A and B are shown apart, each in its own frame.
Chain A
Amino acid sequence: MSATQAPGTVVSRTPVGDYHHLVIAAEGIATHTRPGHFVALAIGGVDSGMLLRRAFSIYRTSTTGRHGETVEIVFAAHGKGTRWMADLAPGDPIDVVGPVGRPFALPKEPVSCVLVGGGYGSAPMFSLATALRDRGCAAHLVLGAATTPRLFGLLDANKVGSSVHVTTEDGSTGTRGRVTDVLGDLVDTTDAAVVYACGPMGMLRAVADVAEDNGAWSQCAVEESMACGIGVCMTCVLPVEGEDGIVRMVRSCVDGPVFRGDRVRWDAVGTIPPGTLGGPR
């Protein structure tokens, strides 16, 4: 799998709740994208003082529209770079690298699956749900956020989900609480074999634990800050245990962003846990 660097053009940017939905026309990316892949965007134009790329999960792609190949993302404007993105208008240029990373692994058998999205982390879940259902799997969706404006994709969820469950921490929509408050029961009642998740690291850790406690595999798309997004800078590492039982600091950009939840040493993210390959002695 190879990533492409493409001079993209903004097709549209639309506010969605507390987020922005960005559609970019860029050749050579959509065709190769699978659910869980991401794009790394250059920020601020060619002379920008902001040198580091921003990485976003791919929400949707299209290869057949009147703008040619397009790739869509959802983002929150909370830093200098994303605030610049929030001012993008149709026709603006934006350099895109993608698709990057290892996508979600799909089951070989038509099993039941639960898909959990936290905030705009739900973006990749809709194409994943479609891909799962195309191969005969059930795709039960759980969307969670602190507040209703921070939920993303409720309409999509109703279209593609085998069932849809919503949680908000303030109780303004769905069940009051967190995604994990409904997840255990859902995994049980649907007899889910796999739980897929994308969202903040704290949520991923909790989801991976609930999945394991209920006898399901988990596939988590992690959120680590990246400088390059292509595997050369070594900034986005986290401790992951290999099949050989050895913990390594692996790149979330190209060795992830999707990892098996039981392989990530969630308790040790941000540290070099004892016993890590090449760790301090």
Chain B
Amino acid sequence: MSTAAADFGGPISPAEVDLSVDLCGVTLPNPVMTASGCAAAGRELDQFFDVAELGAIVTKSIMLNPRSGRPTPRMAETPSGMLNSIGLQGPGIDAFLARDLPWLVQRGARAVVSIAGDKPADYVELARRVGQAPGVAAIEVNISCPNVENRGLVFACDPESSYRVIEECRPHIPDGIPVFAKLTPDVTDIAAIAGAVSDAGADGVTVINTLLGLAMDPDTLRPRLGGVTGGLSGPAVRPVAVRAVWQIRKAMPDLPILGVGGIRTGFDALEFILAGADAVQVGTVIFNDPGAPMRVVRELCDELAVRGIRSLDAVRNAAHG
């Protein structure tokens, strides 16, 4: 048995690599998106690269009403990562639809709108309104934020509540708009949750959201975050994310997967593709390098070219061979 990776021939020019992706009927010029919560609604990043050139801009999770978020301090740097407890600060759906989404659409960007709610009825209302808005490429349903109705648990920690949210909001979104459920890795069996949301009508899954973490302040000997616990993200979580993608792909060979978690370079993105991701999202590294999303596109292209690989289809799922 050969230990060599697949033989794709000698290096080719990056111009010969086709990075385009068909995601549930939506064509993306490349597989790289921003991750929700790391790009606001795209406007600020447009200073650093043309947001229309990216696969898609995934907007920060929008809720029904304006929300102040949690008290500061809201972030703590950790080794190769960070903890955040922003608390879903945002302007609410009215302001988002009036101001943010039209800007993305006018810029020519593919907008993936992330929605979040305290209870299933919130998701239904958001799904209906976002589903009717012009120019939405896809909807990401963030079921991995705290579920107020269920005493602070996270919808995506439980297959039944995950199923319920997706089942209730899917009928309110036009068929042509793919729906992705964003899952948390803080579960016993993430493939089971992916199965539940797929059964409920999700077109695909986004994995992973942040991991719940906690860090202490050496001066105060108290938690560093105002919100005590927070979401861990950044390169520190990447192996967890790649594992989650791999497990879901193994369990569900045909379920579209958006891989996210700690991508910093083109090879990091390729790791997710090899594990089975159809497209990827770049998140926390944007805080370090605002030009990172388009840099990852270029580096991914180079990673394929140097190995003589002409398309993502040629390597997707390669880790499952």
Q: Which applies to chain B's interface (DSSP): helix, strand, loop or mixed? A: loop
Residue of B nearest to A232 (CB): B40
Chain B positions within 8 Å of A102 at CB level: none
How far does the alpha carbon of A171 sit from the alpha carbon of B134 in the complex, in Å?
A: 65
Residues of B within 8 A of A97 (CB): 290
Q: Among B48, B66, B75, point to the contact of A233 (Cβ < 8 A).
A: B75
A16 to B48, CA, bound (A): 34
Within the complex, what minimum Cβ distance (angstroms) separates B267 from chain A?
13
Which stretch from B80-88, B98-106, B205-213 is at the chain A interface?
B80-88
Q: Select A51's contact among B65, B67, B288, beta carbons within 8 Å.
A: B288
Q: A237-B72, A278-B92 are in contact. Are A254 and B82 (CB under 8 A)?
A: no
Q: Which residues of A contact B289 (CB under 8 A)?
A: 5, 42, 95
Q: Are A230 and B44 in contact (CB under 8 A)?
A: yes
Are B75 and A278 interface neighbours, CB within 8 A? no
A3 at the interface (CB under 8 A from B): yes
Give residues of chain B (70-95) contacting chain A, Cβ–Cβ below 8 Å: 70-75, 77, 79-82, 84, 86, 89-90, 92
With a cutoff of 8 Å between Cβ atoms, the chain A residues found around residue B60 in the complex are 234
Q: Who on chain A is nearest to B79 by CB?
A: A49
In whole Å, how far is B202's beta carbon from the nearest beta carbon of chain A?
Answer: 27
Contact A232 B92 (CB under 8 A): no
Q: Which residues does chain B contribute within 8 Å of A280, judged by CB atoms? A: 68
B75 close to A237 (CB less than 8 A): no
Q: Does A173 contact B (CB under 8 A)?
A: no
Interface check A271, CB cutoff 8 A: yes
Q: How many residues of B contact A (CB 8 A)?
A: 40
Determine if A272 and B68 form an interchain contact, defined as CB atoms under 8 angstroms apart.
yes
B69 at the binding interface (Cβ < 8 Å) = yes
Complex Cα–Cα for A235 and B71 (A): 9
Report the separation of the CA atoms of residues A225 and B45 in the bound assembly, to the nearest whole angstrom: 20
In this complex, the member of A3, A97, A235 whose beta carbon has the largest number of chain B beta carbons within 10 angstroms is A235
Q: Is B291 in contact with chain A by the CB < 8 A criterion?
A: yes
Segment among B152-160, B185-193, B251-259, B279-287 that sits at the interface with chain A: B279-287
Nearest CB on A from B76, distance (A)? 9
Q: Are B86 and A232 in contact (CB under 8 A)?
A: no
Is the CB–CB distance between A277 and B66 below 8 Å? Answer: yes
Say whether A51 contacts B40, CB under 8 Å: no
| Contact partners of B44 in chain A: CB under 8 A | 230-232, 254
| A42 with B288: CB separation less than 8 A | yes
A268–B204 alpha-carbon span in the complex (Å) = 43
B226 CB-CB contact with A under 8 Å: yes
Contacts of A147 in B (CB 8 A): none
Q: What CA separation (Å) do A43 and B15 show in the bound complex?
A: 33
Provide the residues of chain A in CB contact with B67, threshold 8 Å.
278
Cβ–Cβ contact A227 & B82, under 8 A:
yes
Asked if A39 is an interface residue, CB under 8 A from chain B, the answer is no
Are the CB atoms of A231 and B72 closer together than 8 Å?
Answer: no
Contact A270/B226 with A2-B47, A51-B287, A277-B68 known, Cβ cut-off 8 Å: yes
- For the complex, is A249 an interface residue (Cβ under 8 Å from B)? yes
Alpha-carbon separation in the docked complex, A238 to B90 (Å): 14
Please judge, given known A-B contacts A232-B39, A232-B44, whether A51 and B75 are in contact too, CB under 8 Å.
Answer: no
A248 to B48, CA, bound (A): 27
Q: Does B301 contact A (CB under 8 A)?
A: no
With A228-B287, A278-B66 as contacts: A51 and B38 at CB distance below 8 Å:
no
Instruction: Indicate whether A225 sits within 8 Å of B65 (C-beta atoms), given known contacts A51-B80, A51-B284.
Output: no
Answer yes or no: B195 CB below 8 A from chain A CBs. no
The reply on B178 being an interface residue by CB < 8 A is no
* Bound form: Cα–Cα A237–B226 in Å: 12
Can you pick out 8 interface pairs between chain A and chain B where the beta carbons lie within 8 Å of each other? A5-B290, A51-B235, A51-B288, A227-B77, A232-B40, A233-B84, A235-B86, A249-B69
| 10 nearest A-B residue pairs (beta carbon) | A278-B66, A228-B287, A235-B75, A278-B68, A278-B67, A49-B80, A231-B44, A279-B68, A232-B40, A51-B288
**Given known contacts A230-B44, A237-B69, what 15 new A-B pairs fall within 8 Å (CB)?**
A3-B47, A51-B288, A52-B287, A225-B72, A225-B75, A227-B84, A230-B47, A231-B44, A232-B40, A232-B44, A235-B84, A270-B73, A272-B70, A276-B68, A278-B67
Q: Which residues of B contact A (CB under 8 A)?
A: 38-40, 44-45, 47-48, 60, 65-75, 77, 79-82, 84, 86, 89-90, 92, 226, 234-235, 284-291
